[in-house]
Structure 1
Amino acid sequence: MSTTSLLASLPAPDRAARLRDALLAADFTADGLLERLGAAAYAALARSETVPALRATRGDDPLDTLVRLFLLQRSVPSARARAALPLEEALADGWVRQEGGEVRAAVDIRPYGGPEGQDWFIVSDLGCAVGGAGGASGHDEGVVLGVGGASTTLAGITVRTPVASVLDLGTGSGIQALHATRHATRVTATDLNPRALGFTRLTLALSGAPEADLRAGSLFAPVESETYDLIVSNPPFVISPLTSGMGDPSPRLTYRDGGMGGDDLCRTLVQQAGDRLNDGGYAQFLANWQHVEGEEWQDRLRSWVPRGCDAWIVQREVQDITQYAELWLRDAGDHRAGREAYEERYAAWLDEFEARGTRAVGFGWITLRKSGAEDPSIVVEEWPHPVEQPLGETVRAHFARQDYLRSRDDAALLGDHFVLAPEVTQEQVGLPGAEDPEHVVLRQNRGMRRATKVDAVGAGFAGVCDGTLTAGRILDAIAQLMGEDPVLLRDRTPQAIRLLVEEGFLDPAETLAR
């Protein structure tokens, strides 16, 4: 199908404001859905279970009609559709279709609550909104998904400082571009799939957001000579075989399969991002990476970081190759292809992994910051534990702390003032009745929710950090109380202070004053 016909099959956005007014008037919003459906039925939708929502929308008011029409993809009588939306315009513009005396949706429209209470709408292909964009499920290769867990994760970790320019690379249905319109003067959105650009245009229009500069092309090709203050990408990161194992090229799903071997697409994207960033700019990605026999996965990822950039890479999950193959075979609907075809496609995935020496696949976040530092900070860690989104400010603060630590030798560190970060609590761990605890744990109750063991000196130091005394003065006081040599204590403690600062338990007072 040609690009022209692909885009011609999408609704026209010109009168989206009229449709938006009708949706808002009916309370077809994230809050309105929760109130109408109830928590149980609303949660069931995220599991692709629609029966509770169908039972909750058996009435005939406009909200029930819109839920059944756009979210559950059920036909509704024309009279009910006319009462809920400007039907003639919606038919003419292609948002809905007439089938006899019934009306059906032509696209998915999913209400989405913005970070400041905005009523937004994500537009995607039919069948790709309910259940959080649970996969292609037999759709054509150019299918455009709606909001999924990966989409909201990336939106949550993105640094949201006001900037002049943002690039959303691989925009899909446009959720990252939509978020970017809140804090960027200029938003550019690219995608290899022209149909995705059409959906991004619809998402922005129906959400009442400013238009973006939409460009078709792969990776950085559409913006070859341009630089940005922020780059975000939820790319087609799936490590899939290039052949199906059945003698033909593997069916390629544009939203997930990058067309490169192994994790080369993610590596290429990260390595090229440095040249597309302005000084101080961020690039933030979701990615998969291979765990290869004879190689530390941390070293693999460090090699991706471009020169002049600091990096914070967090591995959130690891799957063995059988789990990984099964996940994405189900995503594509291959488990419904018949036993023989499924087994051959499954074998093709395992053959690919075996040929590359891949024993597992990691998933996580990659954030770059163009610092220009000669001694870049590259932190690669595994953190599978729960976190508290949004984390954009946590990400920004991480790099600010790296800048601070890089500028301080031990003497300067001991001359500075520190403040215990908000929401940090202390736990004492030991046997009941024991005079002293076996160890002390500092625990964050926000952000990354880290916990770290500290000794008596570390606990005492953190407990009195309120910005009043320098670190050196505090250590001198602790040495006097514990009967230790203050010089030796000053010598051995800076590394522990650095770790508490790096992990966000302590904040330098000077950074808080800025």
Structure 2
Amino acid sequence: MSTTPLPPPAAGPGASLLRGALLAASFTPDGLLDLLGAPAYAALARGETVPARRATREADTPAAVLTRLFLLRLPVPLARVRHALPSGATRDATLDAALGDGWLVRDGDEVRATADVRPYAGDDGQDWWIVSDALGHRGEARDIVLGVGGASTTLAGLTIRRPARRVLDLGTGCGVQALHATRHADRVTATDVNPRALRMAAATLALSGAPAADLREGSLFEPVKDARDGGDGGENAYDLIVSNPPFVISPARAGHGGGGLTYRDGGLAGDELCRTVVGESAAHLADGGWCQILANWQQVDGEDWRERVAAWVPPGCDAWIVRREEQDVTQYTELWLRDAGAHRGEQAAYEEAYAAWLDEFAARRTHAVGFGWITLRKSGAGRPSVVVEDWPHPVEQPLGETIRAHFARQDFLRSHDDAALLRTRYVLADGVVQEQLGAPGAEDPEHVVLRQRHGMLRARAMDTVGAGLAGSCDGTLTAGTILDAIARLLDVDPVAVRSGAPEWLRPLVEQGFLIPRE
């Protein structure tokens, strides 16, 4: 395989012919899984090609030929590629278009693919394809464009999928977030500082049969300055901004173990890039609009990371900030040096780069780096809700509706004092179950736990009163009425039960165990 990435394919009219050929060959997520088997399929997603090579070495089906061509990036005889295309009048036209638009390049009697073309399942099971540079190029060229990874799919699952006039994909890369957005937006704008990425994104959309996006080159919000403050009476503002930005906190000096890679290094000091995206997003959002990003942040000696990241939130915006992972600076350094392939070079150079990263963190008094999700909503509230939490536990994706519902509950809680909270009827959220924990044979449980089976998968320990309320919430009686009945049943003072209830009832609502019927 060449170490220099070839020019990306053009999003020309031939994309539709190639898409038809890929579908006919079952070069799709399901078809690839059937061809390779689950272990080789999963290994391919990690960039490991040996299992897929072994699974396809004896196969000559169209799907196997296309796998060797587009995923394993092997040279394939032109005659074999031609045979893998659907027979009939379009076969030659498809091959000519693939060569003419730059999907393939010819080398004698063989052809090579110019890009990694990877089957990808859409939100509703659509057959899509993501166009990017091969994983083997990582760290070998500054402007390579990565395909779909764990961060990409995480953000796609977090995104609120509601009808929108305009959506902005900030730092689009291979275009996967823009591709998802075309399903629910009238217009999608995608930006990137890397012109190679914009060409890849255009190819991704064209090959997947999605509407073309408004592609703009530039850094951060500069390409969409027409949307600032609503622009044309609000017509240019965005209902949704999504971003998987180059959030890696790397040394300011390029060259230290792959520093300066466009897909991961934003060129700003520390976590300034993520702070800038969050802080400037509100000026480009329509009223009620959302901004959802993945971020890294420095965890600085003597500072509470929660307060530090919460300070990024612009005025008039509600926010939900979730830390999913924390790495000390040595773990973080090793992760990204390996990502750039620095560990495969000279040991002395690797150690020098490692030291440079640690020097940078020491200068910034940073002992660890946090990774997580940040969602903003431009609410205009005078008392914004800013929730910051550490949640390293499993969740159930997709979470878009869970996130939207979180903000709806914040609106409810903001407008209801303790008395109003007790006057409200609630229903137990779908999938919440009760667990009783205690010693075997004991007459009464030591703990009663409410557990969610959807969304954030939270668990919350309850006392008898709280568990009794939760089990009785079917939307017919107010919380106060139920609490009065529980107090009579337990022969305790109902006034005391009512007065203490908001302290635990409010978190049950905030975390989605109980849903206000209104």
> Which TM-score applies when normalising by structure 1?
0.94
Please state how far the C-alpha of 1:104 moved relative to its aligned partner: 1.2
Match of 1:207 in 2: 208
Shift of 1:100: 2.1
Aligned-residue offset at 1:10? 3.6
Residues of 2 paired with 1:317 and 1:501: CA distance? 26
Q: For 1:50-61, what aligned pairs fall within 5 Å after superposition?
A: 50-57=49-56, 58-61=58-61
Q: Matched residue of 2:324: which SS? A: strand
What corresponds to 2:37 in structure 1? 38
CA distance in 1, matches of 2:362, 2:512: 40
1:281 to 286, 289, 295: 289
Q: Is the 8 A contact 1:283 1:368 kept in 2?
A: yes
Secondary structure of 1:112 counterpart: strand
Match of 1:113 in 2: 121
Contact kept in structure 2, 1:236 and 1:255, CA below 8 Å: yes
SS in 1 for 2:330: helix
Q: Which one is further off, 287-296 or 117-126?
A: 117-126
- Equivalent-residue separation in structure 2 for 1:448 and 1:469 (angstroms): 27
Question: 2:238 matched to 1:237?
Answer: no
* SS in structure 2 of the partner of residue 235 of structure 1: coil
1:79 counterpart = 2:43: no
Q: Quote how far apart the aligned CAs of 1:8 are.
A: 6.1
Task: State the AA in 2 paired with 1:437.
Answer: P
C-alpha separation in 1, matches of 2:196 and 2:491? 71
Corresponding position of 1:369: 377
Work out whether residues 139 and 261 of structure 2, in 8 Å CA contact, stay in contact via their aligned partners in 1: no
Q: Please list, as runs of the form range in 1=range in 2, the aligned pairs for 1:81-100 lying within 5 A after superposition.
A: 81-85=81-85, 86-100=94-108
Q: Corresponding residue for 1:3? A: none
Name the counterpart of 1:298: 306
Deviations 1:269-304 (A, max 9, x none): 101111111111110000000110000000101100
Shift of 1:43: 1.5
Q: Secondary structure at the match of 1:493?
A: helix
CA–CA distance in 1 between the matches of 2:434 and 2:507?
A: 17
Amino acid at match of 1:72: L
1:329 aligns to what SS in structure 2? helix
Query: Which letter does structure 2 place at the counterpart of 1:319?
Result: Q
Once residues 287 and 254 of structure 2 are traced to their aligned partners in structure 1, the CA distance between those partners, rounded to angstroms, is 43
Give the match for residue 154 of structure 1.
Answer: 155
Q: CA deviation at 1:410?
A: 1.1
Amino acid at match of 1:74: L
User: Match for 1:52: what amino acid?
Assistant: P
Q: Quote the residue 1:133 is aligned against.
A: none
> Which among 111, 114, 121 is matched to residue 103 of structure 1?
111
CA distance in 2, matches of 1:250, 1:317: 23
Q: 1:343 to 1:285 in 2, by over 3 A?
A: same
In the alignment, which of 335, 351, 354 is matched to residue 346 of structure 1?
Answer: 354
* Residue identity opposite 1:95 in structure 2: W
Deviations 1:439-476 (A, max 9, x none): 11100011110001111111000001000111110000
**In structure 2, distance between residues paired with 1:68 and 1:10:** 18
Deviation at 1:251, TM superposition (A): 4.1
Q: Report the Cα offset of residue 12 of structure 1.
A: 4.5
Q: Unpaired segments of 5 or more residues in structure 1? A: 1-5, 129-135
Q: Report the CA distance between 1:159 and its aligned residue.
A: 0.3
Partner of 2:25: 26
Q: Give the CA deviation at 1:244.
A: 5.1
TM-score normalised by structure 2 residue count: 0.94
Cα-Cα RMSD: 1.5
Partner of 2:226: helix, strand, or coil?
A: coil
Residue 369 of structure 1 and its aligned partner are, at CA, apart by 0.6
Deviation string, structure 1 residues 42-100 (Cα, Å, up to 9, x no partner): 12212322222122222111111001110111111111111124322211221111222
Matched-pair contact (CA < 8 Å) for 1:7–1:195 = no
Question: Quick one: distance in 2 between partners of 1:101 and 1:10?
Answer: 20
Q: What is the 5 A alignment of 1:494-505?
A: 494-505=502-513
1:427 to 411, 435, 443: 435
- Are the structure 2 counterparts of residues 8 and 336 from structure 1 closer, same or farther at C-alpha, using a change threshold of 3 Å? closer
Q: 1:423 to 1:314 in 2, by over 3 A?
A: same
| Residue 394 of structure 1: aligned partner | 402
CA apart distance, 1:9:
5.1
Change (3 A) 1:7 1:140: closer
1 CA distance for matches of 2:517 and 2:255? 60
Instruction: Tell me by how many angstroms 1:245 deviates.
Output: 7.7
In the alignment, what sits opposite 1:219? 220
Residues 7 and 198, structure 1, Cα contact 8 Å, conserved in 2: no
Deviation at 1:13, TM superposition (A): 2.5
Counterpart CA distance in 2 for 1:14 and 1:31 is 26
Query: Offset of 1:413 from its aligned partner?
Result: 1.1
Could you tell me which runs of 5 or more consecutive residues in structure 2 were left unpaired when the two chains were aligned: 86-93, 228-236
CA change 1:245–1:214 in 2 (3 A) is closer
Following the alignment from structure 2 to structure 1, what is the Cα–Cα distance between the partners of residues 219 and 276? Answer: 12
Residue 225 of structure 1 deviates from its aligned partner by 2.8
Please list the CA deviations of residues 101-160 of structure 1 after superposition, one character each: whole Å capped at 9, or x if unmatched.
2221111100000011111000001336xxxxxxx5332111111001000000000000
Q: CA deviation at 1:331?
A: 0.7
Confirm or deny: 8 A CA contact 2:288 2:377 kept in the other structure: yes
Give the letter for the 2:12 counterpart: P
Q: Distance in 2 between matches of 1:213 and 1:275?
A: 20
Structure 1 residue 408 and structure 2 residue 409: aligned? no
Q: Is the 8 A contact 2:8 2:199 kept in 1?
A: no
8 Å CA contact 2:6–2:115 kept in 1: the answer is: no
Q: Distance in 2 between matches of 1:406 and 1:244?
A: 47
Q: SS of the residue aligned with 2:398?
A: coil
* Aligned: 1:464 with 2:464: no
Q: Distance in 2 between matches of 1:288 and 1:243?
A: 19
CA distance, structure 2, for counterparts of residue 186 and residue 269 of structure 1: 21
